[in-house]
Structure 1
Amino acid sequence: MEAKRPIDIEDLLIWTYQTQRADRVIRADEEAMPSGPSDRLSANALRELALAGVALNAAQGVYVPRSLHPDAEVVHEAVGMLPSKMRYMIVVSARTGERPDWTAGPVRMEPHWRELGSGELKPVVLYDRNRRPIMCPVEPRPTADEYRMARENWSCWHAGLVRLVGLLAEWPDCLRDFQPTGPAAPACPWLRPALVGQEPEGA
């Protein structure tokens, strides 16, 4: 028996949801599985299967099951056991290949906005007594609440990675080819030195 390949849980998830498209394939199988090999599928079912990368006989609308790697199915099942927000963060990150943005975006100054009757947004402008514009009030962004939310989202995502490694470790015989490791992603990246190579104070 060949040794399993160690792989960081983040990379395993990207493989599961980008390469294998496990969620789409499994959902398509559950929603569109015909009762017999000659059954025709609805246009909606065909579209779902095509998005999942499932082989179809377009002329007859016949479903041809696609082989999903068993490890991808196990990983997807483990993800389904996570709390809803954690599951959402995990799947979105895996599909896009991008980690949650814990910075809440670049530091900037933004004007106050007001909504016109048409729904259009315009910056608030202050005028002097002669109705000459003198300033546009601005505020720093991200706000404290935006920073807090961004860090909460990162922490939720990271906790999901840790929990998945633990779940899959409890099922050692379920994965055929891979051995999840990590996560390599830091738990609190905002506590690391701001610049690469910069030593933290007191080091």
Structure 2
Amino acid sequence: MQVERVRAREEAKAVRPVGPVGPAAGVRRVGDVEAVLAWAYQEQRVTWVEARAGGVGGGGDPYSACRVDGGGRASCQLHPDAEAIHDAVLRLPDWRMRLVIAHSKAGTRPQVYAGNRPRCEPVIVGQFRDGRPRIEIEYDKRRHPIWCAVRYRGFDEDYAGDRRDYREWRLGLMELLPALARLATWRVTGPAAPERPWG
């Protein structure tokens, strides 16, 4: 997961041109939809600026009579493209919107467990005081182990939910493309994320 964050940051940095950018300069940055979202949510901090501008997060806790300094209007200006990106994301269906925002902020992709093979592992029924897992084992009269309860993991059914999240996230990225085509300083390409990385 850390590798994906670093990769997303490097890709976001790689698409920055040197010199003036924008319609006046006639230069548009080129980046895939993931890099553009990472720029909006990590560099521009769209949700943070939006929350600060609305006064959210300031004022303190009314139940504890504690006043916290830090409320009021945000002093920083948000890039118009970042606002347009966030507005487009908010128009996505609820679950896709949440996935896109969460992974854009973190610079990650949903886990799909590609290439995992089915494996046999013991059933853990508890934990010893020292932190080691307690495994269900049956012993004979001489305290020799006879059997251990096991389960098989790594089949497609085990990862169906994770793969569904990945598909929804990628469909969300695809839905954003028409709205992001109208950005002033970005030329957005399709997602670099493969359609079915699990094969």
| Alignment TM-score, normalising by the size of structure 2 | 0.70
Pairwise CA distance, 1:138: 1.9
> CA RMSD of the aligned region, Å?
2.8
Which of 110, 118, 122 is the aligned partner of 2:121? 110
Unaligned segments of structure 2, at least 5 residues: 1-23, 62-68
Distance 2:30 2:60 in 1: 41
Distance 2:147 2:163 in 1: 33
Q: What is the identity, as a one-letter code, of the residue corresponding to 1:153?
A: D
Q: How does 1:104-143 map to 2 (within 5 A)?
A: 106-107=116-117, 108-115=119-126, 122-129=134-141, 132-143=144-155
Pairwise CA distance, 1:31: 3.3
Q: How does 1:40-59 map to 2 (within 5 A)?
A: 41-43=58-60
Distance 1:61 1:89 in 2: 28
Aligned to 1:151: 163
Which of 88, 91, 96 is the aligned partner of 1:78? 88
Q: How does 1:160-179 map to 2 (within 5 A)?
A: 160-169=172-181, 172=182, 175-179=183-187
SS of corresponding position for 2:55: helix
Q: What is the identity, as a one-letter code, of the residue corresponding to 1:154?
A: Y
SS of corresponding position for 1:140: strand
SS of corresponding position for 2:92: coil
Distance 2:52 2:38 in 1: 19
Give the percent of matched residue pairs that are identical in Structure 1 and Structure 2.
34
Distance 2:137 2:113 in 1: 29
Distance 2:51 2:171 in 1: 26
Pairwise CA distance, 1:11: 0.3
Distance 2:124 2:95 in 1: 31
Pairwise CA distance, 1:25: 1.2
Q: What is the identity, as a one-letter code, of the residue corresponding to 1:15?
A: W
Pairwise CA distance, 1:74: 0.8
Which of 7, 21, 31 is the aligned partner of 2:55? 31
Q: What is the identity, as a one-letter code, of the residue corresponding to 1:110?
A: E
Pairwise CA distance, 1:139: 2.0
Distance 2:71 2:171 in 1: 43
Pairwise CA distance, 1:163: 0.4
Pairwise CA distance, 1:189: 1.6
Q: Deviations over 1:161-181 (max 9, x none)?
A: 100112323xx2xx2211211
Which of 6, 12, 21 is the aligned partner of 2:45? 21
Pairwise CA distance, 1:98: 1.5
